[in-house]
Every structure is written in structure tokens, then in C-alpha cells.
Structure 1
Amino acid sequence: MAKAITQIEKKQKNLQEERAEDLSAIVNQIADNREVIQDTLVILQELHEAGMIDMLKGFLRTREKVGTIAIEQLNQPGMHNIIKNGMNTIGLLANMNPDQLKAIFGGLNQGLEKAAKSTESQEQLGMWGLMKSMKNPSVKTSLNTMVSFLEGMGDGLNNKEIH
């Protein structure tokens, strides 16, 4: 009959063997992710050439001072209004129909171009010219749009619930 095993000997690796295995695992990982590492190095080189790495190092070295200054600036009374106005603007943009906004901005751009040309020529529009322009379909469309805008804005201002 066989003897019972009462003692198990574990082979313990020495420090050099552990480091060799660790290095082998790192080299394998580098080989597996070669493209990603090369892209990362290209990005880092571009950031270095642009001076961004030096700026980032300086920022990290003075992060406590920069943080203190940022908090002080955020605590300014005007900054609270800027943040609130920014959030309200984002809410406004989220509620707008992009196609309608594109049409309005397109008309606004053309109107600004025409207004710039008219200021260059410095022609004065008299009362007769103003009345004559009311027959122009483009002017009628623009006036109708502005009156509709004013009506909608008035309805919004008269509404007691502010959204």
C-alpha cells in the first residue's frame, strides 16, 4: 500500500522570476495593443508640440491655487446669473424646432446682408418709399412674421406660469 502524502511542497518563485513574468505579460499586452499605443503616442506628440503638455503639468503642479481661484470666481454674484442664463439658454434651444430656427436664421442672415448694403449706399427712405415698400411681398412676409412673433411673445409674457 502507498504512503499518504502529508507534506506538499510549493515551488515559490524568486523575485527575478516574478519580474520576468510581469515583463513578459506587459510586452504581450503592448504587442496586442500596438495600434492603440502608437495612436496614443502620436496624440501625445501633437499635444507636446502644441505646448499643451507643459500647460497641463503646470496646471497639475498648481491645482490647489487654480482650484481656489476657480471657486472664488464661481462665488461672484454675476457668475450665478451667468450660470442660470446659460441653463435657461440651453433649455430654450432644446425646445426650439431646428427647421424653424434654420429658416429664421436664414432670413435673418439675408436681412443683415441687405441692411449692410443699404447703409453703405446711405440712401434715405422717405415716407413715399416706405409706403411703396409695403407692396413688396418680401416686406409683407417679414412684417407678418414680426407681428406673429410679437403676438407670441406677448402671450408668453401674459402667461403667469414661466416655463
Structure 2
Amino acid sequence: MAKAITQIEKKRKSKQEERTEDLSAIINQIADNREIIQDTLIILQELHATGVLDMLKGLLRTREKVGQIAIEQINQPGMHNIIKNGMNTIGLLAEMDSDQLKAMFSGLNTGLEKAAESAKAQEEVGLWGLMKSVRDPNVRTSMNTMVNFLEGMGNGLNQQKTH
């Protein structure tokens, strides 16, 4: 009859064998992710070349002072309004139709160019010139847009008063 097993001995790896297995696993991961690692190294090289990496190192070394300064700046009385206004502006931009905004900015840009040319040439428009320009279709379109804008803005302001 066979002898009963009373003790199980686990084969333990030496520290050298464990290190060899760990290094082998790391090498396999590097081989599996070669492209990602190369891209990361390129990004790090660019950050180093532009000095951004040095700035980040400095920022991390002085993070407590930087954090303290940031908190002090945020706690300035006007900063709360700036943050609220920024959030409201972002909300406004999110609600706007991008095509309409593009058309308005295009018109604004063209108008600014025309105004700059007129100012550069030192052209002055008299009362008769103003009356004459009202008949211009471009001026009429712009005036119509402004009147509709003012009407819509007034409507929005009146709605705010009632709420």
C-alpha cells in the first residue's frame, strides 16, 4: 500500500526567476504596444523640445504654492462674476445656431472692413448722404436685421421682468 501524503511542498521560485518572469512580461507588453509607445515617446520629445516638459516639471515641484495662488485668485471678489459670465456665455453659444452665427459674423466682418476703409479715407457722410444710404438695399438689410435684433432683445428682457 502507498504511503499517505501528509505534507505538500510548493516549489518556490528564486528571486532571480521571479525577476526574469517579470522582465519577460514587460518585454511582451512593450512588443504588443510598440506603436503606442513610439507615439508616446515622440510626444514626450516634442514636449521636451518646446520646453513644456520643463514647465510641467516645475509646476509639479511647486504644486502646493501654485494651488495656493490659484485658490487666492479664484477667491477674488470679481472672479466669481467672471466664472458665472463665462458659464453664461458658453450656454449662450451652445443655444445659438452655428449657421446663423456664421452669417452674422460674416456680415459683421464685412461691415468692420467697410468702416475701416471709410475711416482711413476720412470720408464723412452728411445728412443728405445718410438719407441717400437708407435707399441702399444693403443698408436696408442691415437696418432690418438691427430692428429685428432690438425687437427680439426687448422681448427677451420683458420676459425676464415678468418672471
Gaps of 5+ in 2: none
Matches within 5 A, 1:74-85: 74-85=74-85
**TM-score, reference length from structure 1:** 0.95
SS in 2 for 1:160: helix
Q: Which whole-Å deviations, capped at 9, do the CAs of 1:49-84 have from their partners, x for residues lacking one?
A: 111111111111111010000000000011111000
Could you say which residue in structure 1 is the equivalent of 2:152? 152
Q: Which whole-Å deviations, capped at 9, do the CAs of 1:75-110 have from their partners, x for residues lacking one?
A: 001111100000000111111111111111111111
Could you say which residue in structure 1 is the equivalent of 2:131? 131
Instruction: Give me the whole-angstrom Cα distance separating, in 2, the residues matched to 1:161 and 1:13.
Output: 79
Residue identity matched to 1:91:
G
Residue identity matched to 1:11:
K
Could you say which residue in structure 2 is the equivalent of 1:40? 40
Residue identity matched to 1:63:
R
Instruction: Give me the whole-angstrom Cα distance separating, in 2, the residues matched to 1:95 and 1:122.
Output: 40
Residue identity matched to 1:134:
V
C-alpha deviation, 1:161, in angstroms: 5.8
Residue identity matched to 1:100:
Q
Could you say which residue in structure 2 is the equivalent of 1:87? 87
SS in 2 for 1:159: helix
**TM-score, reference length from structure 2:** 0.95
C-alpha deviation, 1:162, in angstroms: 8.8
Output the aligned Cα RMSD.
1.5
